[in-house]
Amino acid sequence: MSGTHTGNPVAARVRRLEERLIEQGLVTDDELDAVLSAVLDGASPLNGARVVAHAWCDAGFRERLLADANAALPELGLSMAGGLQEQRLKVVANTPERHNVLVCTLCSCYPVALLGPSPSWYKSEAYRSRVVREPRAVLTEFGLDVPGGQEITVWDSSAESRYMVLPQRPDGTGELSEDELAQLVTREGLIGTAAV
């Protein structure tokens, strides 16, 4: 984690905090790097896509995933245990009546292990503030027109809890294999800013 972060006030503040922890002897630079590596090791939206495709193909897994995602993920060799502690994951399913979208209004908390590094727009103050106030307008700007009769629920992540959207399975995909279905799922679909 060493190095300078000019021009980015958040990165500079994080580095100052890291330096204070190191000065106090609470952690070393190498330990911080190891935590970051553990969090990012294998982190990819392909993981989330695998979870979704499996849930589309296996009704029992879908039920377990929606009831307790942390307990269901190990069935696919995945977990939310990167870093210092396991993060709580809640998977929320899109339905004809409800569309879900994710945000972290405080910073950019996000299920990195399942979605890969967050897109820059997810971290932007404009997205974080507007999607809560006017989700339908924001989703329209992303090119997603949610029907007027479909309710939109915005899920706000925190340091302890993360969310992932389980998109609706597209019509006409009954003959596709699980691997082929996974190829249809995008990071934006897992956030809720795009349809699959």
Q: pLDDT (tens digit, 9 = 90+) per residue, 132-187? A: 999 999 999 999 999 999 999 999 998 889 999 999 999 999 999 999 999 999 99
Assign 3-state DSSP to the chain and report helix, strand, coil percentages, each to 5.
45, 10, 40
pTM, to two decimals: 0.79
In the chain, CATH 3.90.330.10 covers 45-191
Q: Which residues are catalytic?
A: 104, 107-109
Cα distance between residue 195 and residue 72, in whole Å: 24
For the packed helices 29-40 and 9-23, what is the interaxial angle rounded to 10 degrees? 130
Q: What is the pLDDT along the chain (196 residues), one digit of tens a residue?
A: 334 334 445 556 666 777 788 888 888 777 766 665 555 555 678 999 999 999 999 999 999 999 999 999 999 999 987 655 678 999 999 999 999 999 999 887 889 889 988 888 998 999 999 999 999 999 999 999 999 999 999 999 988 899 999 999 999 999 999 999 999 999 999 999 999 9
Superfamily of domain 45-191 in CATH is: Nitrile hydratase alpha /Thiocyanate hydrolase gamma (3.90.330.10)
